[in-house]
Amino acid sequence: MPVAEPDIIGKLQKREPSGFLLASLRGVGQVDLQPLIWTGLLILAALWSAGWEIGLFATLGTLVSTATAYALGVDRSSIAVGLQGYSGCLTGIALVISLGHHPATYILAVVGAIMCTLLTATLTTLLSPYGLTALTAPFCLVSGVMVLGAPSFSRIWNGAPKPVSSPTTGDTGISWDDLWHAFFTNVSQVFLVDEWYVGLIMLAGLACAGARVVLFAAAGSVTGIVTAWALGAPTELIRNGIYGYNAVLVVIALGAVFLSGTVANGAYALFGAAVSTGLTASLTSLFKPFGGHTFTWPFILTTWVLMAAVPLLPRLRRSV
């Protein structure tokens, strides 16, 4: 992961508000594992374009997570590259989508963002002996626990929002229109949004981070579509990005961040994208009795498994 530009750490140490805001912007970009400020800015713009509630809760979650890390004295360089904000960003979005836009949801988003920062520390402690990072697991744990418990509490539960369509079977014929929609929604679905233009703006943000990043992201999206179609997934789910957003993340993580740029590593990243596409169906079935919140678990589990295998596979090499 790129080193933070020194001035953000400096601004944080001098307690300048601009340092805090720049670190938070990077936090938005770190959802896609990219610390560039321009990437964060474009992704944030894409989120606000998807709806003001989504933009607001993404902003709120990122700011609260980053501020919590600052208040608890977390290592400034980790804050400066945005690693303390991305889980709060996703948690804010997940809560407003799952629980609806109510006053109680604001309180839960703040508590959830605080918990994300704590869980980031917890997972860093637990995973660092293995050379693994927390990825988006704090988001998945906090959001999963909150959405699972919410219906038990009358003051935070206002009934389930409009049900997400998730047929397990359905038409598998695919058109050109389905394909290009899927290509972009695979990118936006990382943030639980299924609008193609949101994905397009996000891809522009990833392009700022370099050709390698955006090409791998695109390759991941294509791999997710091809795998899901080859397995026979319902077209509606492919078109909405349900089967491809994990593939996008896996390929960015393995192809552009954690492994060095060899052909074998690239093939390994694309293989991981295909695996995460299949795993999406398994985890969705696993979580169905509990309300079905797959979030980015397929990306997390695939990346952890494939990265932990690398030290024993001499053909592959970590980038660090």
Among 159, 173, 232, 320, binds a copy of itself (CB under 8 A): 232
Residue whose CB is less far from a copy of itself, 214 or 254: 254
Q: Contact region for a copy of itself (CB under 8 A) — 176-184, 188-196, 212-220, 298-306?
A: 298-306
Q: Least distance (Å) from a copy of itself to the CB of residue 39?
A: 26
What residues from 122 to 141 belong to the interface with a copy of itself (CB under 8 A)?
Answer: 122, 124-126, 129-130
Structure tokens at 47: 């989120």
- Near a copy of itself by CB under 8 A: residue from 21, 118, 160, 164: 118
Range 259-278, binding a copy of itself (CB under 8 A): 271, 275, 278
CA neighbor of 28 nearest in space, from 8, 17, 43: 43
Identify the three-state secondary structure at position 223.
Answer: helix
For residues 31 and 226, give the distance between their C-alpha atoms in angstroms, rounded to a whole number.
24
d(CA 254, CA 135) in angstroms, rounded, equals 12
Query: Around Cβ 212, how many Cβ atoms within 10 Å?
Result: 13
Q: Is 1 in the site for a copy of itself (CB under 8 A)?
A: no
3-state SS track over 74-139: CCHHHHHCCCCCHHHHHHHHHHHHHHCCCHHHHHHHHHHHHHHHHHHHHHHHHHHHHCCCCCCHHH
Residue 230 interacts with a copy of itself (CB under 8 A): yes or no: yes
Residues at the interface with a copy of itself (CB under 8 A): 71-75, 114-115, 118-119, 121-122, 124-126, 129-130, 145-146, 148-157, 168-169, 172, 230-234, 271, 275, 278-282, 284-286, 289-291, 304-306, 308-316
